[in-house]
Amino acid sequence: MDLALISRVLFLRRRWRTHDRWSVEQIAAHQARALKKLRRLAYKRSDFYRQHHAGLFDAPLSELPPVTKADLMGHFDGAVTDASLRLGDLEEHLKSMVETGSDAGRPWRSRWWTAATGGTTGRKGIFVWNRSEWAAVLASYARANDWAGIRVGVARPLRVAIVSSRTPTHQSAVVGASLRSRLIPTLRLDATSPLSETVAELNRFLPRVLVGYASALQALAAEQLAGRLAISPQAVMSASEVLSEHAAREITRAWGTAPFDVYAATETAGIASPCTFHNSHVYEDLVVVEPVDENGLPVPQGTLGARILVTVLFSRTLPLIRYEMSDRVGIGGRGCPCGRSFALLAGIEGRIEDVLYLPGQAGTVPIHPNVFHNLLDDVSIAGWQVVQEDTGLRVLLAGVASSASVEAARRSVESALGASGVVDTDVAVQVVDSIERTQLGKTRLVQGIPPPA
């Protein structure tokens, strides 16, 4: 346990609680000051940003060009603000972590914490933080507990069970290893492990807070309702996957409390989380979130953008200024019974890569994953997956009660696609024992073929 790091996290949590009382004007003033400091540092120490923002050093944030993951990874050595950092060295370090199973919470070279993205949207991303930044990352995740009304103290340790990835390069593993202490006894479980093993571990541990991928939580909710799992968490936190309405209902039915849907990413750490009224507020004192359309233009308030541009106000080692993420997010208004002035998250529909592009009479027809959620969530108790192939769609169902359900699912999918204008697309339904997860334990519910340029 790194006492200095934990002390810094506790300090940030106390200081950030005062931000809960900030007015809209105070939030805006803080963003302006923090953004000015971030850009000044980036222009002084990052060759990449000096070139990327050439001629725009004094321009408003909205006029700066976006930065993609490919941009950062392709110019990593020039993007970082510390000349001792090299992408090749970090890649070797992360590779060694996987091979040796070393402690993910121990800083590399005693200075840096590192994590890699899963690479589901293309090239794998590698991100690095110094001690001050890593404390902010940890505190941003702890804020979700604070806003959900979960308290922790010497007299009441916070027993947390996390069902996600145990891959040491995944940020959730690094966060869990960094926070592990007597105050926060933590059980880390791999979402790819057999469900029976996960159930047994949870029954022994009896967590006060259960955190996990939405798909993993839904499967555990079914185990709780069947009587095989017997835990009584004070709160259930869903993260890293889009939480469907059906999954939220099942989780609420299992544990008598609605799940808190935490929005975060490896690159940014916490972005938004719900208060006790289950209204999700954006962490505007930590990140600037800009939903934009396909052309990079701002979308109206409350409208889902095609993607978002995020600026991480505390990023210093690898500055993130208008960094592009493919999540479809909307930012709403303000005003909540909890009293916070932070903007409300109007909605999130996941990543544009999950949208299927199927043939129609006049061209391609986009089909959002919600179409399949509405049709398949109630059919399969153990999960489903839709895979796009050259000849059509293959629908995988696990835990289906009868062959009649299989045929009904096929007809309902065909009907919904036809109503959306899709043509010449065969639908085949296959019953499987379980739905395959990625190395990080996530379930890619919809796997599409990239659309034509």
Q: Coil, helix or strand for 319?
A: coil
Terminal Cα-to-Cα distance of the chain (whole angstroms): 49
In a domain, 66, yes or no: yes
* Of 181, 197, 234, 238, residue with least CA distance to 214: 238
Cβ–Cβ < 8 Å for 129, 137:
yes
Whether residue 361 lies inside any domain: the answer is yes
Asked if residue 303 is part of any domain, the answer here is: no
Q: Looking at the structure, tell me whether residues 57 and 112 fall in a common domain.
A: yes
* Structural domain ending residue among the three candidates 348, 374, 390: 348
Say whether both 36 and 145 belong to one domain: yes
- Say which residues have a Cβ less than 8 Å from residue 10's Cβ, sequence separation at least 6: none
| Residue 305 contacts residue 328 (beta carbons within 8 Å) | yes
In this structure, the answer to whether residues 390 and 425 fall within a common structural domain is yes
Is 311 within a domain? no
Question: In angstroms, rounded to a whole number, what is the distance separating the alpha carbons of residues 272 and 281?
Answer: 5
Longest dimension (CA), the chain: 66
Find the domain containing 165 and state its range: 3-280+333-348
**In 10 A of CB 318, how many CB atoms?**
25
Domain end marker among 300, 321, 348: 348
Residue 171 resides in a domain? yes
- CB contact at 8 A, 17 and 300: no
**Judgement on whether residues 343 and 421 belong to the same structural domain of the protein:** no
Q: Are residues 19 and 157 in the same domain?
A: yes
Q: Average pLDDT for consecutive 10-residue bins of the chain (453 residues)?
A: 84 96 98 98 98 98 96 96 96 88 85 79 79 96 94 80 83 81 84 87 97 89 95 94 85 96 94 96 98 94 94 98 93 96 89 73 76 73 82 86 82 89 90 74 73 55
Q: Which residues pair with 107 in a beta bridge?
A: none
| Percentages (nearest 5) of helix, strand, coil residues in the chain | 35, 25, 40
CA distance 125 to 333: 32
Give how many domains the chain has, as a whole number.
Answer: 2
Q: Are 91 and 110 in contact (CB under 8 A)?
A: no
Instruction: Please give the pLDDT value at position 121.
Output: 43
In a domain, 290, yes or no: no
Predicted TM-score (pTM) of the model is 0.82
User: How far, in Å, are 358, 359, 364, 449 from residue 452 at the CA level?
Assistant: 11, 11, 9, 9
* Residue 200 and residue 72 share a domain: yes
Q: Is residue 326 part of a domain?
A: no
Residue 338 sits in the same domain as residue 374: no
Domain with residue 231: its CATH number is 3.40.50.12780
Cα–Cα distance, 35 to 15 (Å, whole number)? 19
* CATH code, domain with 420: 3.30.300.30
Same domain, 339 and 258: yes
Are residues 344 and 417 both part of a single domain?
no
* C-alpha to C-alpha distance for 141 and 319, rounded to whole angstroms: 20
Q: How many CA atoms lie within 13 A of 28 on its CB side?
A: 3
- Provide DSSP, 267-292: TTEEEEEE-TTS-EEE-TTTEEEEEE
Token readout for 373 is 């959620």
Closest alpha carbon to 38 in 282, 270, 264, 287: 287
Contact (Cβ atoms closer than 8 angstroms) between residue 234 and residue 150:
yes
Short-list 5, 350, 30, 9, CA closest to 146: 9
Same domain, residue pair 341 and 412: no
Distance in angstroms (rounded) separating the CA atoms of residues 417 and 427: 10
Which of 304, 325, 348 corresponds to the end of one domain?
A: 348
What pLDDT was estimated at residue 184? 83
Residues in the chain: 453
How far apart are the C-alpha atoms of 339 and 20, rounded to whole Å? Answer: 8
Give the pLDDT confidence score for residue 450 in this predicted structure: 66
Only one residue has tokens 């909890």, namely: 338
Residues 213 and 275 in one domain: yes
How far is Cα 189 from Cα 382, in angstroms, rounded to an integer? 18
146 and 21 fall within a common domain: yes
Amino acid at 273: S
Collapsed DSSP state (helix, strand, coil) of residue 431: strand
Query: How far is C-alpha 264 from the geometric centre of its chain's CA atoms?
Result: 4
Asked if 264 and 135 touch (Cβ cutoff 8 Å), the reply is no
User: Is 296 within a domain?
Assistant: no
pLDDT, residue 380, reads 64
Sequence-distant (6+) residues with CB within 8 A of 161 are 186, 187, 189, 201, 202, 205, 207, 209, 210, 211, 212
